Amino acid sequence: MNWLLDLLFPEYCAACGSFLFLNHHYIACEECWRRHFTPYRRKKCLSCGHPVELLPGSGDYCKRCLTSGKVFEFDRVEFFALYDGIVEIALRALKFERKLPVAHSIGRTIAGHLKSFILRNGVEVVIPVPLHKESLRERGFNQCEEILKGSGIVFSPILEKIYQTPRQSSLNEEEREKNVKGVFRITEKVKNKKVLVFDDIFTTGSTVNEIAKVLKENGATKVFVYTVAYTPVQR
């Protein structure tokens, strides 16, 4: 009954404004999605993944990493696109308006890019960032798992978030680090494995860094991080 929904609650493409007929749950028309939901292909900082041109440091590293000297627990971070435009609208629609089919569109779009990162690094286990069971009940799904389902990539939900914490987006960097300390545990062994942690957005990296710490403590040899989107620091 999509046509009926379309008549009752018309929705429009977030980029060109065209009417999304029989495409009710999506946020953009096919053409705009293809044009705007594309990978960021310029140089990324080897340590934190930040686009180097937006925070020029020296060579392979961004200015933030050079000045802070911060060392992350994970070995490498890769992302698909900047958290901006259609990508931001899509992730917001998925998480805050619970438009589940958007997850599957995102998954299909990033599949090739993510697969090649997995192959290049010999990743053996893909682990989605978990939600606490209360958040899961509230949203009805884990957006990371749903995006992975759309990508067709096999994943292992072997991580658990054991405490409910305030939303990271409401906190500064230092508070974010404290906020996630000790809240994750794994339910299956990762000893001698190369693992990839999959999240929707990378902002300060506090969550994935804490998870990488737990995975390394449990014997993972390498921890890679892949996110759909990356939030650059304010210039």
212 in contact with Zn ion (CB under 5 A): no
Instruction: Tell me the closest approach of the beta carbon of residue 50 to Zn ion, in angstroms.
Output: 5
50 in contact with Zn ion (CB under 5 A): yes
Determine the size of the site formed for Zn ion (CB under 5 A).
Answer: 11
45 in contact with Zn ion (CB under 5 A): yes
| 62 vs 147 by CB, closer to Zn ion | 62
Q: Which of 32, 102, 123, 180 binds Zn ion (CB under 5 A)?
A: 32
DSSP for 190-226, written as a single string: -TT-EEEEEEEEESS-HHHHHHHHHHHHTT-SEEEEE
| 19 vs 163 by CB, closer to Zn ion | 19
Q: Which of 15, 93, 223, 225 binds Zn ion (CB under 5 A)?
A: 15
225 in contact with Zn ion (CB under 5 A): no
Q: Which of 16, 97, 116, 174 binds Zn ion (CB under 5 A)?
A: 16
With a CB cutoff of 8 Å and minimum separation 6, the contacts of 49 are 76, 77, 78, 79, 202, 205, 225, 230
Give residue 230's Cα distance to chain centre.
8
Q: In this structure, what token pair is assigned to residue 176?
A: 């974010």
Stretch that binds Zn ion, among 6-14, 36-44, 78-86, 206-214 (CB under 5 A): 6-14
Q: Report the amino acid identity of residue 205.
A: G
211 in contact with Zn ion (CB under 5 A): no
| 13 vs 87 by CB, closer to Zn ion | 13
With a CB cutoff of 8 Å and minimum separation 6, the contacts of 200 are 91, 94, 95, 129, 143, 144, 147, 227, 228, 229
76 in contact with Zn ion (CB under 5 A): no
Q: How far apart are CA 51 and CA 42, in angstroms?
A: 7
Decide if 178 contacts 210 (C-beta within 8 A). Answer: no
196 in contact with Zn ion (CB under 5 A): no
Binding site for Zn ion (CB under 5 A): 13, 15-16, 29, 32, 45, 47-48, 50, 62, 65
